[in-house]
Amino acid sequence: MKKEKLRILLIGYGKMGRAIEAIAAERGHTISAIVSDKQIDISHICKAYQPNIAFEFTSPAAAVSNLEALIVAGIPTVCGSTGWLEHWNSIVGLVQKEKGSLFYASNFSMGMNLLFKLTEIAGRFVKDLPEYEVSIEEIHHLEKKDIPSGTALTLADKLLIELSRKKSWVVNQPLPHSDSIHITALREPNIPGTHKIKFSSPIETVEMIHTAHSRMGFADGAVRAGEWLMGKKGVFTMEDFLHDSFSKTL
């Protein structure tokens, strides 16, 4: 089946936005308009440039208002901004009200989504082995605003589902919390993203690590998600996309 060509409204033109621009061109799509300012006149952009999809990769402060404007304008949207999920229910409600299309992921990398799946399996494996303590470490570039990362929170949420002995997560706390998942969040120069899950017992340690060497893996997954989103209505995540694309494998 031939994929519809995307005419992309790219909102956010940082390093991730530039990576999406490059991958979209490689896959035969067009960037109709680029917006770096969070103050967006969606109706004007739609009339002037006629995009058929938007990619929203900005900041926690800008994401919600951007998403609201895009949903009301009827533009299918792929969102990778993190740090705004306290507004998730209201955005989902708006998508349903407007019969819109939204694809959200904290991380679009195929490799990271493999780690998400492995984390679920590992959590189920150690749920009845309380001697294994679990922790998460994430390292990102200095410009990243949200702490911990959205990806680290996704990993923590998957573990919380599997481990009844864990009730919540804490970040950068000096002492271990027996009923919480401890997240260490570090910010260092020029780090696209590293995430480590550690299961430690008195006799051994098991670690799973995802290291991004560039943003191209994230951008490739985002553009593929945008291709998949076309023609669909509702709110979707990488789990929907991966299940639809790789159901025999998963």
What residues are labeled active site? 140, 144
Residue (of 113, 6, 20, 25) closest to 58 by Cα position:
20
Do residues 20 and 223 lie in contact, with contact meaning Cβ atoms separated by under 8 Å? Answer: yes
Q: How many whole angstroms separate alpha carbon 68 and alpha carbon 51?
A: 17
Sign of the CA dihedral running 25, 28, 33, 36: negative
Ordered alpha helix ranges (H), 144-237: 150-162, 216-229
Provide the token pair at 122: 């590992």
Do residues 50 and 26 lie in contact, with contact meaning Cβ atoms separated by under 8 Å? Answer: no
All residues at 6 or more sequence positions from 190 whose CB lies less than 8 Å from its CB, including other chains: 141
The torsion angles phi and psi of 112, rounded to 5 degrees, stand at: -65, -35
Residue (of 86, 80, 75, 1) closest to 40 by Cα position:
75
Q: How many CB atoms lie within 10 A of CB 43?
A: 11
Coil vs helix vs strand at 96:
helix
